[in-house]
Amino acid sequence: MIDVQNITKRYGHHTAIDRVTFSVAKGEVLAFLGPNGAGKTTTMRILTCFMPPTEGTARVAGYDCLNEPMEVKRRIGYLPETPPVYQELTVTEYLTFVGRLRGLTGQTLTSALDRSIERLQLGSVRHRLIANLSRGYRQRVGLAQALLHDPPVLILDEPTVGLDPKQIIEIRELIKSLVGSHSVILSTHILPEATAVCQRVVIINGGRIVAEDTPEQLSARLRQSEKISVIIKTPPADCEERLRAMPGVLNVFPGQGTGNFLVECALGHDLRDELARFIVSRGWGLLELKTISMTLEDVFLRLTRHEEGLSQSPEPAAAVTSNLEPSVQEAAS
Amino acid sequence: MTPVQAVIAKELRGYFVSPIVYVVGSVFLFIFGFLAYIYVKFTGAQAIQLMQLQGGMAQINLNDLVFRNLFASMRFVLLIILPILTMRLFAEERKLRTFEFLLTSPIGIHEIVAGKFMSVLLIYLGLLGLTGLVPTVLMLFSDFDWNPVLTGYLGMALLGALFLSVGLFASALTENQIVAAFVGFGTLLTFWLISGLGALLGDTTAGRVVSYLSFMEHYDRLVRGLIDTADLVYFGSGLALMLFLTYRVVESARWK
């Protein structure tokens, strides 16, 4: 549905995005993840035909963004960073205006309006001036605008900014409900959001794509070994050595506080059962035992911090694994 | 409703919700009425003087003494008032970040420019229509030739349209409404003042070119009751040029 090939955007000498390539299948939700200034908004502006790329091609629903912008615009619902609302209009007037710009008329317009208002629960404010609405409501009006003409492609720039936690969950549910029928790109720097609603994540930093995969696989790919955290009530002095001597254990690091250890074992070997028995049978007193999985947050920080090292590597994700070890140590100590 | 009509409707709504139209409209109508009153009073005083000198009825020409002066004075009023009407058109969109939304909507830039221009033109023509009360009331009490009055109105309409297009262009340049208004004033004032430069240069080629570029002589001919194709071409081409430049500025804003 969306196909981006090697797009580059330069502002004078500043390169905002550099040879970005990715694609989104029909019905897929893709998260665009990156720190502020990474090039997320620039990429979205190119896809929505607001600005042309310096190099490369972007196609939406089979139409080229540069040569057939009208066809592309007709098929996109776009929510920019700031909800594009007119304060002097009421919600209904605003959405009517948006619908007319997109060529909706008569009965089609009325039903599109009602559907959109219902979907974003704007019924109670539909006759109020947008100027008098809270930030959260304005954001929802912005989303209603993007969904109004039921476009096959949705581009949402930080759709949950400014919403309260309940509204965030509602919006995420809404985005999830679009899976299958709509192709969605949403940009965010809130990681749980990407994990919650997206099938695929593209991590962008400094204008380049540094990783692209499902959230689960991204963290799995960056994990070199299984890590188990144990807390022991009365550890003997040689506890660390004796744990390390256990079959299957690769390494043991002391954790925070006495009796806290981080046991590392080979990928795919779950040693929790053996560890528990080992400690209990010696009467050390097992207080806690849990696996430590890498969250998307860790992945994200690794990838975006070690950007320089990555650019020389053909396989970005593989290059980071070596950088992973010290960070876990830091975190544990 | 076509997209252009939607833009016009939305802009009109914006104008009437904000105080701009009410303030600008009242000031415009007040000044028009006030000037008309002054010129009529002045003409009346002259008539009395003439009657005392000559005895009997004096021939007073309302067209020359009231309408020509009134229309000539309105040039300056339009120059000040119209950039205030147009300043918000694009500047506000940029400020409130709705500009990006408009440009990513399936509507051409020419349609956006046309819609915005027509909305403000409609407001201006509406105000101009209201001033029609002045000649209508005068008609009840006196006798004058309607033709120069109508060409004067045509002149006001054309001059206003040209000023509005300059204001629209200025508004597209910036996201600051005050700056947009001042760029509008400045440009219009320059085109006023170059008529003085033209007079100074006299009947040389340069002088004629400079005088042609100023709106003064074109407007004056219409106010005097002359419809010359050359003047219509001046207003038409000026308008077209300004709208085209606005189109280019809006288009180029995407590249930055």
Among the partner residues B18, B106, B254, nearest to A70 by beta-carbon distance: B106
Q: How far is A7 from chain B (nearest CA, A)?
A: 15
Q: Taking the alpha carbons of A169, A173, A176, A181 in that order, is the dihedral positive or negative?
A: negative
More confident residue, B239 or A257: B239
**pLDDT digit string (tens) for B39-59?**
999 988 888 888 888 776 667
Q: CB contact, 8 Å: B252 with chain A?
A: no
Percent of chain A with pLDDT over 70: 86
Q: Which of B223, B78, B60, B46 is nearest to B138 (CA)?
A: B60
**Displacement of CA B54 from its chain's centroid (Å):** 41
Which residues in chain B have their CB less than 8 angstroms from residue A185's CB? none
**Is B132 a residue whose pLDDT tops 80?**
yes
Among the partner residues A11, A80, A86, nearest to B14 by beta-carbon distance: A86
Q: Which domain holds residue B111?
A: 3-253
**Mean pLDDT across chain B, nearest whole number?**
91
Total structural domains within chain B: 1
Among the partner residues B5, B97, B104, nearest to A73 by beta-carbon distance: B104
Phi, psi (rounded to 5 degrees) for A220: -65, -40
**Is A85 a residue whose pLDDT tops 90?**
yes
**Is A273 a residue whose pLDDT tops 90?**
no
**pLDDT digit string (tens) for A161-181?**
878 888 888 888 888 888 888
Count how many Cα atoms sit within 13 Å of the Cα of residue B166 in the half-sphere of its side chain: 29
Residue B153 pLDDT: 94
DSSP conformation letters of A124-188: GGTTSBGGGS-HHHHHHHHHHHHHTT--SEEEEESTTTT--HHHHHHHHHHHHHTTTT-EEEEEE
Rama region for A220: left / alpha / beta (φ>0; ψ in -120 to 50; rest): alpha
Q: How far is B104 from chain A (nearest CA, A)?
A: 6
In the A/B pair of chains, how many CB contacts fall below 8 A?
A: 71
For residues A195 and A116, give the distance between their C-alpha atoms in angstroms, rounded to a whole number: 26
**Is A242 a residue whose pLDDT tops 90?**
no
DSSP A228: E
**pLDDT digit string (tens) for A111-150?**
999 999 998 889 999 999 999 998 888 999 999 999 999 9
Domains delineated in chain A = 2-219 (3.40.50.300), 224-292 (3.30.70.920)
Among the partner residues B3, B100, B102, nearest to A103 by beta-carbon distance: B3
Q: Please enumerate residues of A whose Cβ is less than 8 A from a Cβ of B.
A: 11, 45, 48-52, 70, 73-74, 76, 78, 80-82, 84-89, 93, 97-98, 100-103, 105, 145
For residues A24 and A28, give the distance between their C-alpha atoms in angstroms, rounded to a whole number: 6
Whether residue B106 and residue A74 make contact (CB cut-off 8 A), yes or no, is: yes
Please list the helix, strand and coil fractions of chain A in percent, rounded to the nearest 5, in that order.
Answer: 40, 25, 35
For residues A270 and A273, give the distance between their C-alpha atoms in angstroms, rounded to a whole number: 8
Q: Taking the alpha carbons of B21, B23, B26, B29 in that order, is the dihedral positive or negative?
A: negative
Which residues in chain B have their CB less than 8 angstroms from residue A97's CB? 6, 9-10
Percent of chain A with pLDDT over 90: 27
Its ipTM equals 0.86
**Is B155 a residue whose pLDDT tops 90?**
yes
Alpha-carbon distances of A276 from A238, A279, A282, rounded to whole Å: 17, 5, 10
**pLDDT digit string (tens) for B166-181?**
999 999 999 999 999 9
Beta strand segments in chain A, E: 2-11, 14-24, 29-33, 55-60, 63-64, 76-79, 153-157, 183-188, 200-205, 208-213, 225-232, 249-254, 260-266, 286-292
Q: Cβ(A58)–Cβ(A3) under 8 Å?
A: yes
Among the partner residues A84, A98, A145, nearest to B100 by beta-carbon distance: A84
Candidates B5, B7, B8, B10: best to mutate against A (most CBs of A within 10 A) is B10
**Is B254 a residue whose pLDDT tops 80?**
no
Whether residue A80 and residue B1 make contact (CB cut-off 8 A), yes or no, is: no
Whether residue A89 and residue B104 make contact (CB cut-off 8 A), yes or no, is: no
Q: How far is B111 from chain A (nearest CA, A)?
A: 10
